[in-house]
Chain A
């Protein structure tokens, strides 16, 4: 961690693809023109304020409104998270500092109260639940889904003794839709999730054979998948939620992974993370997952597409997940469109954050 800077609330920090610590003056500059903060469509800007001077919700919103911006604020962790509807920005021109965990961008601070710019990707937290062995919550601002995952492992599965394999753990996945009863669509996506997760879980480790790893995923917010629609738009979110819950339950894993959804429009443009409404208009949709070692773990597609399109999609997905795309001229380029931090770092940082919170005594001792 960088010292001397206010530590961002973990929710914010993991969410941060980039952040800038700026004064009230710079906020005005940011919104006023392209000098400090270039403005581009299709990206939301959140900014968080330190609660240093004990201001309350109304005060925060009033201060932001004084800058000529309507905003809603939310108190998260140690900070106010202020959302400015309809604001746009771009991260490409910002230079991440080398020595910090997330890609922060620092502006000179003239006042005591600092304002932090954050671009929001998915947000996640570990262990929000008491009873489950491991759990995670996951919010995806692009699609509006809120997911909760719980893992119980290892557990006895008395009812299915005959179905248990003698040499490894049985992985059970259960997807609970928000406002309907689970049906065929849920059973189908459970099958996909189970096959991905079973390859990652080390089911032959001590204590796991003949036991169950029960993964429960509940869609607690956002629109439901319509009956008959595929779960493709939710698949990456479901995978991330279950991975984080597995990590939280300390289930032995051979590797971690990250997943992403890409849509291809009718004119052949690849769009990362389309919302459920956008996804309907796409010519094809592709959900891909890559392991931490770069292996392709999951490839689910729907719609009409050619192999060349798929190859382009795969490269883009790899860039988003791992940030190690090799471009045509041989340069290892930063993933364009991935907006800074790759998804793999998102998983890593979520866990890192939890460790920082759980073991401060141990870390300080080192």
Chain B
């Protein structure tokens, strides 16, 4: 199978008729995200994200490489999204498809090209060595709105990730292990996220965070990449029916509200996780004694 199973006529009509009365099948409002849950794994930069039934894992990794010749001051950052048959039976392993190219493009534009991660801070020695930050997105379940989910996941991962400390000593790069020196957080300049809207009814109804079925029934889509301050860093209306310019303005405001909400939510989870790590780390450091059995009769206790 290389295509998602198409919607049946009855199913499509049902979705459209319901939307005609401003009702969505899962009972959400038109401008409402599905329940979002973000959690972090054991390693730094390991994010598990679930948006409704869409779920993915993002892993951030870093290695030292040589910078590009035309950009000797910049580090490297790339986002790797590879769709495998795990996310949907319609995707074939080892073959890229349209969705993969489309989502990768949006992630590139929203996160990479907006300079959300300051790549200049990744430079170690000009023209010789720099950090290469890599974000891997593993799609586990696909139920619509992959772009927004992946965007939130990658941004959360970048904020959570800590790279090993590297120092230049006599022209030599020394990379310290996580145990030797406190690992360094990445320099995040802004937190842009994408929000995807789908239009129905010749652009009269526009919904946020469509499920897979809603995506299939939709007439057109609009992606707005925006940060907390309301700076639009990406706006696209690739295909589909035209929508009113006023909608774009209105929806940008909605998008900004949503991005603020999501960023606040991610931040809360992030702080909780970092606090937990700090507490654990300090307890281990403060412990001077070796592992041994402590008997109640021990005179030193």
Chain B residues 63 to 103 lying within 8 A of chain A, measured CB to CB, are 80, 82, 84-89, 92-95
Contact: A33 with B141, CB < 8 Å? no
- How long is the Cα–Cα vector from A216 to B92 in the complex, in angstroms? 10
Contact present for A221 and B93 (CB under 8 Å)? no
Which of A32, A144, A155 is within 8 Å of B295, CB to CB? A32
Question: Is the Cβ of B95 less than 8 Å from the Cβ of A159?
Answer: yes
Cβ of B1 within 8 Å of any chain A Cβ, yes or no, is: yes
Residues of A within 8 A of B143 (CB): 130-131
Q: Which residues of the other chain, A, contact B260 by a CB distance below 8 angstroms?
A: none
In the complex, chain B residues whose CB is within 8 Å of the CB of A155:
1, 89
- Pick the contact of A174 from B94, B134, B136, B138 — CB < 8 Å? B94
Could you tell me the distance between the alpha carbons of A218 and B296 in the complex, rounded to whole angstroms?
A: 48
B141 touches A130 (CB 8 A): yes
The 9 closest A-B pairs by CB, nearest first: A179-B61, A174-B93, A150-B86, A216-B86, A152-B89, A220-B57, A216-B85, A130-B141, A216-B84
Which residues of the other chain, B, contact A70 by a CB distance below 8 angstroms?
283
User: For residue B59, which residues in chain A have a CB less than 8 angstroms away from its CB?
Assistant: 178-179, 220
Closest-by-CB residue of A relative to B94 is A174
B169 within 8 A of A: no
Query: Which residues of B are found within 8 Å of A159, using beta-carbon distances?
Result: 2, 92, 95
Q: Is B43 an interface residue (CB 8 A)?
A: yes
B258 in contact (CB, < 8 A): no
Residues of B close to A172: CB separation below 8 A: 93
Inter-subunit contact B93/A220 (CB<8 Å) = no
At the interface, yes or no: A356 with Cβ under 8 Å from chain B? Answer: no
Report chain A residues within 8 Å CB of B283.
70
Tell me, rounded to whole Å, the shortest Cβ–Cβ distance linking A60 to chain B: 14
* A174-B84 contact, Cβ under 8 Å, with A32-B295, A130-B143, A179-B134: yes
A-B pairs with beta carbons under 8 Å apart, 8 shown: A129-B140, A129-B141, A146-B41, A148-B140, A156-B1, A172-B93, A176-B82, A178-B136
B80 closest partner in A (C-beta): A181
Contact yes or no, A221 B42, CB < 8 A: yes
Contact A86 B291 (CB under 8 A): yes
Question: Given A39-B293, A179-B136, A218-B138, A150–B85 Cβ distance below 8 Å?
Answer: yes
**Cβ of A225 under 8 Å from chain B:** no
Map CB proximity to A onto B247-261 as digits: 1 under 8 Å, 0 otherwise. 000000000000000
Chain B residues, CB < 8 A from A148: 86, 138, 140
B residues 274-296 touching A (CB-CB < 8 Å): 280, 283-284, 291, 293-296
In the bound complex, residues from chain B placing their C-beta under 8 Å from that of A221 are: 41-43, 46
Report Cα–Cα, A131/B142, bound state, in Å. Answer: 7
Say whether B53 contacts A130, CB under 8 Å. yes
A161-177 vs B, Cβ < 8 Å mask (1 yes, 0 no): 00000000000101010
CA distance A33 to B295 in the complex (A): 7
Question: Closest residue to A181 on the B side, CB-wise?
Answer: B80
| CB-nearest residue of chain A to B296 | A32
Known contacts A159-B95, A174-B94; A131/B84 CB under 8 A: no
Q: How far is the CA of A159 from the CA of B91 in the complex (A)?
A: 12
